[in-house]
Amino acid sequence: MKNKDIILHTEKINISALKEFNTYTDYFLAVLEDKTTLNDGIHLKLVNLYYATPKGYLKLRISAKDKGIELLERAEHKTLFERFSKEEKMDNNLIFFESFNGQSYSNSPKYIYEKMLEMGYGDKYTFVWSYKGDLEIPGNPIIVNGSNTEYFKYLAGAKYWVNNSTFPVEQKQKKGIYIQTWHGTPLKRLGFDIQVKNPKINWHHLNKESKNWNFLISANRYSTNIFKRAFKFNNKILEVGYPSNDIFYSKDDEFKRSLKEKFICTDKKIILYAPKFRDDDVDENGNYYFNMKLDLKKLYDKFKDEYVLIIKTHYIVSNLIEINENIKDFVYNFSDYDDIHELFLISDILITDYSSVFFDFAHSKNPILYFVPDFERYKTEVRGFYIDMEEDLPGPIIRDNDKLIWAIENIEDIKKEFKDSYEVFYEKYCSIGQGNASKKVVDAFINRWIR
Domain ranges of the chain: 15-67, 88-242+439-450, 247-429
Lowest mean pLDDT among 10-24, 116-130, 173-187: 10-24
Q: Give pLDDT, residue 67.
A: 67
Q: Give pLDDT, residue 75.
A: 80
- Does residue 136 surpass a pLDDT of 70? yes
Lowest mean pLDDT among 15-19, 224-228, 301-305: 15-19
Better-scored residue on pLDDT, 44 or 110:
110
Q: Judge if 88-242+439-450 and 247-429 fold alike in CATH terms.
A: yes
Q: Is 38 helix (H, G, I), strand (E, B) or coil?
A: strand
Query: What pTM did the predictor assign?
Result: 0.87
- Does residue 286 surpass a pLDDT of 80? no
Q: Give pLDDT, residue 38.
A: 46
- Does residue 199 surpass a pLDDT of 60? no
100-103 long-range contacts, CB within 8 A, separation 24+: 100/164, 100/165, 100/183, 100/315, 101/146, 101/165, 101/166, 102/130, 102/131, 102/132, 102/145, 102/146, 103/132, 103/133, 103/315
Residues in Cβ contact with 238 at an 8 Å cutoff, skipping those fewer than 6 apart: 215, 216, 217, 218, 440, 441, 444
Q: Give pLDDT, residue 35.
A: 55
**CATH assignment, 88-242+439-450:** 3.40.50.11820
SS3 content of the chain, % helix, strand, coil (to 5): 40, 20, 40
**CATH assignment, 247-429:** 3.40.50.12580
Q: Give pLDDT, residue 273.
A: 97
